[in-house]
Structure 1
Amino acid sequence: MATAVETLDKLERRLTISFPIADVQSEVEKRLKLRARTAKAPGFRPGKVPMKMVAAQHGYQVENEVLNDKVGQAFNAAANENKLRVAGYPRIEPKSGEGVAEGSLAFDATFEIYPEVVVGDLSSAEVEQVKAEVSEAEIDKTIDILRKQRVHFHVKGEQGAHGDGGDLSAKNGDRATLDFVGKIDGVEFAGGKAEDFAFVLGEGRMLPEFEAATLGLRSGESKTFPLSFPADYHGKDVAGKTAEFTVTLKKLEWAHLPEVDAEFAKSLGVDDGDLVKMRADIKENLEREVKGRVKAKTKDSVMDALVKAVEFDVPKSLVEQDGQRLAEMTRQDMAQRGMNVADVPFPPELFTVQAERRVRLGLILAELVKANNLQATAEQIKAQVEDFAQSYEDPQQVVKYYFSDRNRLAEVEALVLEENVVNYVLGKSKVTDKVLPFDELMGNNA
């Protein structure tokens, strides 16, 4: 049996559940008899172990199992009877003293319920619908990037099929190989010395003073110069200090970028080397990437609008569970990247804000989907998988990959469902078009 539901807070509730001790004892005896049929003990044949020995060996474990089952059944029955939508798991605590009937066991169950989520009029919600275009200039930039990815270097001054590189002094774009040694107050410091160290000038890999000192040098030349480490430099021993460096340029190479010709096109997968087709392929790939990023930014704007427009209390238990899940996901991600995180703490509290937003959005989306029939259809899921597959060499193999695993399809279904919600909100809210420059959309402003 269960008492009336008691309200402790906005979403927190409590009820007392109880059941006869005799019921527990009866179930324990029943389960012990079942165990006795296969129980083993030294000096006895299987199934012939005395009940006292079976009870001594397994009684505590079986009693706990029965109690857990009885409490769970009683709580579920009470929740169903009171039509409660329980969020997370109840906290169960034994109860004794006044109010507990003789011959009964009683427990207090403290838990949270799901809030009532009401998505009202969205006409005043403000949403930015992001737009961006792929122009010929973006295609040219992409070709330049692809050329740089295929760069090869030649020693300056040595004549070759592509020339000798001209000026023998170091300039931006050249690859310099050098020895260097740094000292602070005349003493070498850890990490301040290297031999045959190579880097490309102008890429920003080295501190500005280091690059500036290397510019203009010729092979065999040396230079000594002061270098001030920033206060936030990753090397704590030298951060904020000034060192004296001596560099000796040992080899200088100039960069030869491949010509944009048929061979270049073939290296990008255009079998016949057609440059027009190569540009069309690049444009198609860029448009696919732009489409994905535009959709993602528009979705973020929609989600922000929903969080602002729909107010309700979020169950703390769900936030805590999601915080723990995010902490574990972060740990696994860092471990997969090769980081040693075995002894690194990941307090779920660090993820509380993110978890609260995720839970809130999950409840809002669930309500929108239920109230407006926005479930993902089989046709939508299939179309989404086929769209994914278009960017791969063998699309049919990718389609088979997704449809062979229910979990993978579930991920696609979730994406389609989110897109249905986004489209629904865009049709109900105050939408402003926001045109983003290509570089800003792609994160290339630096």
Structure 2
Amino acid sequence: MNISKEQLDELNAVVTVDIAKADYSDKVEKILKDYRKTANIPGFRKGHVPMGFVKKQYGKAVLVDEVNKLLQDALNKYLTEEKLDVLGNPLPKEQEDFNWDADDYSFQFELGLAPDFEVNINGKEAITHYKIVPTEEMIDNQVTTMQKQYGKLIAKDAAEAGDVLSGTFANEEEAIENTTTVELDKIKGKKNLDKFIGAKVGDVITVKTKGLFEDDHDLIAALKIDHDKAHDLNIEVTFTVTEVNTQELAELDQELFDKLYGPGTVKTVSELKDKIKADAERQFEQQSDQQLLNAVTESMLENTKFELPAEFLKKWIQVTGENALSEDEAKDEYEKSEKGLRYQLIEGKIINENNLQVTFDELKAFAKDLIKSQMAQFGQMSPEDKELEDIAARILSNQDEVKRISEQLMSQKMLTFYKENAKLKTKEVTFDEFVKEVYK
């Protein structure tokens, strides 16, 4: 067997694999002899089928199968040993005069090669890394929410602003009938609110759904409908009042603080607000970090220039999918995926050059941290390490979970790398300012 490579240009090559009869004949002969011993063919006793008959009936199929196996193994070994960084997979070239009745064969494969380039994380301008801070109003609103959560409802005769009404929303034509509670603070507009003010048990209120609540998600919950149906829904619904209550807020005292954060963790209103602020900043950090990942990605794509073997990749896309594509369809698919492919190459180069690969020990430790975080949400603050080990082992036995957690960990590693190496400028903003600047 002989393998040779013709370099067409920096990004394209052709590999030729020559296979001689001596490379496959012994293997083919052995398979046919084994088949002769075991084959059950009508008209012949087992083990006494004439070899000529076996070769005539099955020789070509066995030959093709063995040559293809030999070819694939040899090609993979060659690519590995020569350290060829290929994009996609080798594509067999069409050979019109190919003859399986010959003794020796020659196969050719087109290769698309990964480009050689230097990663440039930074452009001329520093990348903005946002620090999102909660406003005093946001913190005060969270304090009030906590007081409501641990407060109590007191029944009253007629509704006033700020009260809570229980009842049933209904619309027979749309098959809507949902029993719920409505906080009058969430009703949008004086015209709508006036319909609820003064309401008593047994009253039936008719309102339009469009613009009923400050937040559309409240409409989804109130009517128990899906998001798509709620979008631009403009129908009349009735609300039959079954209870009228006023919300008595819980006192901002040690009893409430202990319920919220555990005994003695928070002792004053000022400490409570500091805690809320810190928790909010941690939550905002996830959004800020995701924005930073996006910004650095765009910067690298803009500032790291290299060519791709475009024609090879279009051809590869055309023939390797579940369904064959036309040239125009393959071109469209390539244009859609080109940006993602460029980023994969850039990210792969960063990972390899900076030893950022995910190890199994890192993956297991990361999985255990995720498990601890989830258990803490259900009040299990100090799980045993053996319990964490057992749960992590179960999770990591699932390949889909391994892939998902590996991607999370790699994203975290890349984020840390960017924070340490990219040219950043920190900008402190409120959440509303962040949304306005980033999502415009």
* TM-score range relative to shorter protein: 0.5 to 0.7
Residues 128-167 of structure 1, C-alpha deviations (whole Å, 9 max, x = no match): 122244677655443333344456544333xxxxxxxxxx
| Contact 2:134–2:430 (Cα < 8 Å) also in 1 | no
Q: Which whole-Å CA distance do the structure 1 matches of 2:77 and 2:109 have between them?
A: 13
| Contact 2:163–2:245 (Cα < 8 Å) also in 1 | no
What 5-or-longer segments of structure 1 have no aligned partner? 158-167, 182-187, 323-346
2:163 aligned with 1:169, yes or no? Answer: no
**Structure with the largest fraction of helix:** 2
The Cα RMSD (Å) is 5.4
In structure 2, which of residues 399, 406, 413 is the aligned counterpart of residue 417 of structure 1? 413
- In the superposition, relative to structure 1, how do residues 273 and 349 fare at CA in structure 2: closer, same or farther (>3 Å)? farther
Q: How many Å apart are 1:69 and its aligned residue?
A: 1.7
In structure 2, the residue matched to 1:189 is 173
2:259 aligned with 1:267, yes or no? Answer: yes
1:369-408 pair list within 5 angstroms: 369-371=351-353, 392=376, 393-394=381-382, 397=385, 400=389, 407=402
Q: Which whole-Å CA distance do the structure 2 matches of 1:195 and 1:433 have between them?
A: 47
What 5-or-longer segments of structure 2 have no aligned partner? 213-226, 318-328
Q: Which whole-Å CA distance do the structure 2 matches of 1:356 and 1:146 have between them?
A: 49
1:13-162 pair list within 5 angstroms: 13-20=13-20, 23-33=23-33, 39=38, 62-63=62-63, 65-76=65-76, 79=79, 84-92=84-92, 95-97=95-97, 102-120=102-120, 122=122, 124-133=124-133, 139-150=139-150, 152-157=152-157
Q: Which whole-Å CA distance do the structure 2 matches of 1:134 and 1:366 have between them?
A: 37
Q: Which whole-Å CA distance do the structure 1 matches of 2:79 and 2:258 have between them?
A: 67
| Contact 2:363–2:406 (Cα < 8 Å) also in 1 | no
| Contact 2:358–2:406 (Cα < 8 Å) also in 1 | no
In structure 1, which of residues 243, 246, 252 is the aligned counterpart of residue 244 of structure 2? 252
In structure 1, which of residues 295, 301, 304 is the aligned counterpart of residue 298 of structure 2? 304
In structure 2, the residue matched to 1:433 is 426
- In the superposition, relative to structure 1, how do residues 395 and 104 fare at CA in structure 2: closer, same or farther (>3 Å)? same
Query: What SS does the aligned partner of 2:107 have?
Result: strand
- In the superposition, relative to structure 1, how do residues 265 and 30 fare at CA in structure 2: closer, same or farther (>3 Å)? farther
In structure 2, which of residues 333, 342, 360 is the aligned counterpart of residue 360 of structure 1? 342
Query: What SS does the aligned partner of 1:95 have?
Result: coil
| Contact 1:13–1:111 (Cα < 8 Å) also in 2 | yes
Q: Which whole-Å CA distance do the structure 1 matches of 2:228 and 2:202 have between them?
A: 31
Q: Which whole-Å CA distance do the structure 2 matches of 1:176 and 1:133 have between them?
A: 36
Query: What SS does the aligned partner of 2:186 have?
Result: coil
Q: Which whole-Å CA distance do the structure 1 matches of 2:414 and 2:94 have between them?
A: 43
Task: Return the letter of the residue paired with 1:298.
Answer: L
Q: Which whole-Å CA distance do the structure 2 matches of 1:56 and 1:244 have between them?
A: 80
- In the superposition, relative to structure 1, how do residues 305 and 196 fare at CA in structure 2: closer, same or farther (>3 Å)? closer
- In the superposition, relative to structure 1, how do residues 128 and 386 fare at CA in structure 2: closer, same or farther (>3 Å)? farther
Which has the higher mean CA deviation after the structures are superposed, 293-302 or 349-358?
A: 349-358
Residues 321-354 of structure 1, C-alpha deviations (whole Å, 9 max, x = no match): 99xxxxxxxxxxxxxxxxxxxxxxxx99999788
Query: What SS does the aligned partner of 2:173 have?
Result: strand
Q: How many Å apart are 1:418 and its aligned residue?
A: 0.9
2:211 aligned with 1:221, yes or no? Answer: no
| Contact 1:270–1:278 (Cα < 8 Å) also in 2 | no
Residues 182-205 of structure 1, C-alpha deviations (whole Å, 9 max, x = no match): xxxxxx6233x537565444436x
Q: How many Å apart are 1:359 and its aligned residue?
A: 3.3
- In the superposition, relative to structure 1, how do residues 292 and 388 fare at CA in structure 2: closer, same or farther (>3 Å)? farther
Residues 262-288 of structure 1, C-alpha deviations (whole Å, 9 max, x = no match): 332232241347534766654554444
- In the superposition, relative to structure 1, how do residues 295 and 59 fare at CA in structure 2: closer, same or farther (>3 Å)? same
Q: How many Å apart are 1:294 and its aligned residue?
A: 3.7
Q: Which whole-Å CA distance do the structure 1 matches of 2:210 and 2:275 have between them?
A: 47
Q: Which whole-Å CA distance do the structure 1 matches of 2:61 and 2:258 have between them?
A: 69
Q: How many Å apart are 1:437 and its aligned residue?
A: 1.3
Which has the higher mean CA deviation after the structures are superposed, 359-368 or 281-290?
A: 281-290
Which has the higher mean CA deviation after the structures are superposed, 22-31 or 382-391?
A: 382-391
Q: Which whole-Å CA distance do the structure 1 matches of 2:99 and 2:50 have between them?
A: 35
State the identity %.
19
Q: How many Å apart are 1:19 and its aligned residue?
A: 1.7
Task: Return the letter of the residue paired with 1:312.
Answer: F
| Contact 2:132–2:284 (Cα < 8 Å) also in 1 | yes
Counting matched residue pairs gives 392
Q: Which whole-Å CA distance do the structure 2 matches of 1:81 and 1:378 have between them?
A: 26
- In the superposition, relative to structure 1, how do residues 123 and 411 fare at CA in structure 2: closer, same or farther (>3 Å)? closer
Q: Which whole-Å CA distance do the structure 1 matches of 2:197 and 2:420 have between them?
A: 57
**TM-score (normalizing by structure 1):** 0.63
- In the superposition, relative to structure 1, how do residues 275 and 141 fare at CA in structure 2: closer, same or farther (>3 Å)? farther
Q: How many Å apart are 1:374 and its aligned residue?
A: 6.1
Residues 218-271 of structure 1, C-alpha deviations (whole Å, 9 max, x = no match): 3233355667799xx9459x978x755555434333334433333322322413
**TM-score (normalizing by structure 2):** 0.64
